[in-house]
Chains A and B, each alone.
Chain A
């Protein structure tokens, strides 16, 4: 068997990051060496991923690399494999791109920190762990990489010694995250007990005929485990804490990359290992979790007073979109979800980097303290606007295209199944998008516009070495929005096909014909052709408009009802025609643009705010209860 040169790229792209991590630790004294080694590692890893586009995405190859040359023997995969199909490569490109841009940004950004020599070791460990997960073809290997990744991420969260909240955030992250890690490990043990293999491809082939209660339990455990890594509700509070405490370039990785491993894991578990995504019960469950994450986190974001914490909640809200879309199990839904995954990495990365730039220049991310920075930092403000437009789904930025596909996919699903629930999901997705826009109007107004506090008179524009990666991200936000056809040809089309075609994945690892000999049902879960129901169809636009109008009407009706019952308000700033004259000390702060809206929603928002009370035990309880509910759900409905 002759090997093409590119078949070594997957293992090399992981190794170069880990090797870089250790070399940085070795040469930690010299700033030049640290920068040089990190650059070589991240650029090399990205270049190898790009080089794989041609064979994997365009020629449809699936690269299987057996470590140590231990190929399957007697129908059993005894070695550890790296297996790169289009899904793996899609996530690999996304990860290495975010790692590259965020790494370039970090060189200057970490200047304010005291333990700079350790930063890039942890950074490259995190990157290597993530690459290991998305390229690996071995379940236990994935678990080990998951732990490496979590470990590096926790360490980086606690990294800023001058941030007083960092240790607390890291501890919560570690404790609540350990529920997910334990679930994954227990799930792996149960799978091994049933299938006697750890190879993803072989498990995928064997699992269907071996379905029994313990396999069902394993499915539930793995789903929750990867869900924890994606910070699905109710694991979202730890994400908010961690994002806010970590350095911004690490927030980019946690939000753009770390969560994607969870999404990737859910794809592998639901579409490959157990092939359960075809079942309506699983679809309902995943869509439900996705929609709840989507809506709950955007309302939590309305409550926030910290730039990065607000971004963190939006990040999980967008992950909700991705889960919802992937849970539909249609070609359009999968493509929309994957599209949104790459867009999320880009615009969320951009927004976190602008937040980092603001922090770098002013030393704070508190929305109340900031204001009017657009005069001093025009480029950063422009970049923020691009990111905000993208995340809110304003055409022609990338968020629009992917969200539009998600609306269509949910709506189509509603038409297909005739269920009102999926139609509600469409409405919820649109409403969430509107709330996202509202929230970013508030951030823009309180950070970049409005009145500038006197202490920021001498603030300077972000340094060029930080601006360049941000401009690249902004350019990619626009490019992915304007060139959906290229995206479909090179990334999304092949990846969507690969998600639905697990027999090809199995045969590539175990030899041709293995899937046919073991699987009782080889049929594809959905037609892999993406029927793009015309993004520019006027009729669809009209429909969307009607949905938004209905949502707004509904919201205004509900808020009217609320105001009428809230009669006795003491503070005059909540009066209808408040102008600021009567109560001198009750100014409408710049962070409080939507105080009227928030006041009307105060019962809900207050309840939510009290629920997220920051006690570790309660977050653990949420997680364990969620685990129990999902296990029970699986046993009842599957």
Chain B
């Protein structure tokens, strides 16, 4: 049921934002960012879904007007978005490691030299 997907996607985004807002552990903030990403990926893939459609893998000659398949563009977008999400995670985890060695803590409440 596609509505369930939309609700699930929005819930995931909300949970991710909640984690980013309330968790002082910087690793968990990164996990929160990831959950938001998953929510978005689910959303985009669901947008292109057609009930009863097949996988959109055809060569140009095979295509006829009667075929019914899911929209391939959102799937391409999701792939891109997954790749970007993985890069962002890698980068933020790298920064977390550096910060842990510099500050000796993972607590966002203590990593606040820049303020005011």
Contact = CB atoms under 8 A, between A and B. Distances in A.
Interface of A: 140, 144, 147, 151, 154-155, 158, 164-165, 167-172, 174-175, 178-179, 182, 185-186, 188-190, 192-193, 196, 198, 240-241, 244-245, 303-304, 609-610, 612-617, 620-621, 624
A365 to B, nearest CB: 13
Nearest to B96: A171
Contacts of B84: 144, 147
Interface residues of B, number: 43
A190 B6 CA distance: 11
A168 B105 CA distance: 12
Contacts of A158: 95, 98
Most chain-B Cβ atoms within 10 A of its Cβ — which of A144, A182, A198?
A182
Contact of B99 (A144, A168, A244): A168
B92 A171 contact: yes
Contacts of A155: 91
Contacts of B40: 182, 185-186, 189
Given A171-B95, A620-B20, A185 B88 contact: no
Nearest to B74: A192
Contacts of A167: 95, 98-99, 102
A168 B111 contact: yes
A193 B49 CA distance: 10
A184 B112 CA distance: 28
A614 B37 CA distance: 25
B73 A192 contact: yes
Contact of A174 (B81, B95, B109): B95
Contact of B113 (A196, A240, A614): A614
18 contacts: A144-B84, A168-B99, A171-B95, A171-B99, A171-B111, A174-B91, A178-B88, A185-B40, A186-B13, A189-B40, A198-B73, A614-B113, A616-B26, A616-B29, A616-B111, A617-B29, A620-B29, A624-B17
A172 B74 CA distance: 30
A170 to B, nearest CB: 6
B82 to A, nearest CB: 11
Contacts of A198: 73
Given A178-B36, A616-B26, A189 B92 contact: no
B47 interface: yes
B7 interface: no
B108 interface: yes
B80 interface: yes
B114 A241 contact: yes
B92 A612 contact: no
Contacts of B102: 164, 167
Contacts of B33: 175, 178
A613 B95 contact: no
B44 interface: yes
B114 A165 contact: yes
Given A182-B37, A186-B43, A198-B73, A154 B91 contact: yes
Contacts of B114: 165, 168-169, 172, 240-241, 244-245, 614
Chain B CB within 10 A, most for which of A189, A245, A621: A189
A610 B115 CA distance: 8
B21 interface: yes
Contacts of A154: 91
A413 to B, nearest CB: 35
Given A154-B91, A182-B13, 15 more contacts: A167-B99, A168-B112, A170-B95, A175-B29, A175-B30, A175-B92, A192-B44, A192-B47, A241-B114, A609-B115, A613-B116, A614-B112, A614-B115, A616-B29, A620-B29
A466 to B, nearest CB: 26
A174 B113 contact: no
Contacts of B108: 615-617
B11 interface: no
B43 A189 contact: yes
A235 to B, nearest CB: 14
Given A175-B29, A303-B116, A189 B47 contact: yes
A140 B79 CA distance: 12
Nearest to B71: A196
A427 B15 CA distance: 42
Interface string B31-43: 0010011001001
B64 interface: no
Interface pairs A-B: 8 shortest CB-CB: A614-B115, A614-B112, A609-B116, A193-B47, A616-B108, A171-B95, A241-B114, A620-B20
Contacts of A174: 88, 91-92, 95
Given A140-B77, A189-B40, A620-B17, A612 B115 contact: yes
B26 to A, nearest CB: 7
Contacts of A303: 116
A66 B36 CA distance: 33
A613 B20 contact: no
Nearest to A245: B114
Nearest to B112: A614
B54 interface: no
